[in-house]
Every structure is written in structure tokens, then in C-alpha cells.
């Protein structure tokens, strides 16, 4: 399907923002401000956890796995200790969350 040159050069304009509709939406949201704040905090925590998991994987690969590549007898002690440390951290979080109940 061919398009005209004129259509490519002039993209359709976006409609202007209707401020009255936006005020109405915020009027509805003010009744849920604490829930909305909780959602924003959870979104931020999710972003931090995603970044932390990426950094953990980078450390795991760069410091423990890549040095073992090509070795005849790789030493897994550092990798095992890292896995145990992570398991201990998760177990501690689990026990703390169940003490609160």
C-alpha cells in the first residue's frame, strides 16, 4: 500500500489535553490517596529489586562462573558459599516475616 509524501511529512496532530477530565480523575483518586501511595511505593520497590537481582547475577557471572571457564578442575567453593549466603538471607527474611504473624 502506497502512502502519499504529504502524509509522511505531516503526522497527525495530537489533541489537546482536557484539563477538566484530568481534574475529575484526580478528584476520584483523592479518596484513595493512601492506597495509591502504597502502589507507588510497591512499584519503586519492584524496580529496586529488579536492579538488585541484575547486579547479583553480574557478580555471580563475573566473579564466580567466568573464572572457572576452561579450567580442568574448577573450584566450586566460592560459588557454593555465595549460594549458601543467598539461601541464608532468604531464610532470614522468611523467618522474620513469620515472626510478625
Q: What is the pLDDT of residues 12-53, one digit of tens each?
A: 888 888 888 889 988 998 899 999 999 999 999 999 999 998
Task: Look at residue 10 in the predicted model and tell me its pLDDT.
Answer: 78
pTM over 0.75: no
The structural domain count of the chain equals 1
- The residues near 75 (Cβ < 8 Å, ≥ 6 apart) are 68
In a domain, 18, yes or no: no
Residue 100, CA atoms < 13 Å, CB-side half-sphere: 5
In a domain, 21, yes or no: no
In a domain, 37, yes or no: yes
Task: Look at residue 61 in the predicted model and tell me its pLDDT.
Answer: 87
First-to-last alpha carbon distance for the chain, in angstroms, is 64
Domain span at residue 90? 28-99
Q: Quick check: 6 pLDDT over 60?
A: no
Amino acid at each position: 500500500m502506497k502512502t502519499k509524501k504529504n502524509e509522511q511529512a505531516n503526522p497527525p496532530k495530537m489533541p489537546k489535553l482536557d484539563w477538566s477530565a484530568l481534574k475529575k480523575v484526580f478528584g476520584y483518586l483523592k479518596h484513595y490517596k493512601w492506597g495509591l501511595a502504597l502502589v507507588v511505593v510497591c512499584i519503586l520497590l519492584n524496580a529496586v529489586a529488579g536492579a538488585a537481582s541484575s547486579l547479583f547475577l553480574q557478580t555471580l557471572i563475573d566473579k564466580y562462573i567466568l573464572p572457572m571457564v576452561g579450567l580442568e578442575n574448577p573450584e566450586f567453593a566460592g560459588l557454593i558459599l555465595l549460594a549458601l549466603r543467598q539461601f541464608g538471607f532468604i531464610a532470614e527474611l522468611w523467618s522474620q516475616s513469620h515472626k510478625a504473624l
